[in-house]
Amino acid sequence: MSQSKRSTVRIDCPECGSKVGTAVPPGPGIHDERSPNRLRGTETSCHNCGHELEFYYY
């Protein structure tokens, strides 16, 4: 069975306090400590003030 559902991560914008969210795909988690590329990320902008944010996930 394939895991195709994306999770939405939401945080407060550090500039204006508005909620900012982005979808992140499922990942392998932190089980394989030897993997050199296990940490991934994505960028988004606050829809209220335009502040750029980076989300990092496993």
* Residue 7 reports pLDDT greater than 90: no
Stronger pLDDT, 8 or 26, i.e. the higher one = 8
Residue type, 7: S
Give the predicted TM-score (pTM) of the model.
0.63
Tell me the pLDDT band of 2, cut-offs 50, 70 and 90: very low
Contacts of 37 (CB under 8 A, 6+ apart): none
18-52 pLDDT tens trace: 999 888 877 666 665 666 667 788 899 999 999 99
4-16 mean pLDDT: 86
